[in-house]
């Protein structure tokens, strides 16, 4: 959850939408980028690694698996 607005920062969607024309899933945005993951990419976080994703040659997003609470 985003601490500022208490909104989710990760969600599951059925497909890509036009983020400049619609408010789905997080409200209007200036750009979108599709990232395809290989089997190795999916396995890496399960082995304790992080995924680093370059976003539009401007930002980096680090992804990790959230540990389940007991």
Are 38 and 25 in a shared domain? no
Are 61 and 50 in a shared domain? yes
> What is residue 1's predicted lDDT score, i.e. its pLDDT?
44
C-beta separation of 20 from 29 below 8 A: yes
> What is residue 4's predicted lDDT score, i.e. its pLDDT?
55
Strand partners, 62: 52
Q: For the residues of 29-60, what is the DSSP string, one character each?
A: -S--------HHHHHHHHTT--EEEEETTTEE
Domain range for 5 is 1-32
Are 38 and 52 in a shared domain? yes
Count: domains in the chain: 2
Tell me the Ramachandran region of residue 53: left when phi exceeds 0, alpha when psi lies from -120 to 50, beta otherwise: beta
Are 61 and 37 in a shared domain? yes
Q: What is the pLDDT along the chain (70 residues), one digit of tens a residue?
A: 444 566 668 888 888 888 888 877 888 888 888 899 999 999 999 999 999 999 888 899 999 998 777 7
CA distance 49 to 63: 9
> What is residue 39's predicted lDDT score, i.e. its pLDDT?
96
Are 27 and 49 in a shared domain? no
């Amino acid at each position: 959850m985003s601490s500022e607005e208490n909104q989710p920062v990760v969600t599951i969607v059925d497909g890509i939408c036009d983020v400049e024309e619609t408010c789905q899933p997080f409200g209007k945005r200036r750009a979108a980028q599709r990232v395809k993951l290989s089997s190795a990419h999916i396995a890496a976080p399960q082995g304790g690694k992080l995924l680093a994703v370059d976003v539009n040659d401007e930002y980096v997003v680090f992804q990790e698996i959230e540990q389940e609470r007991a």
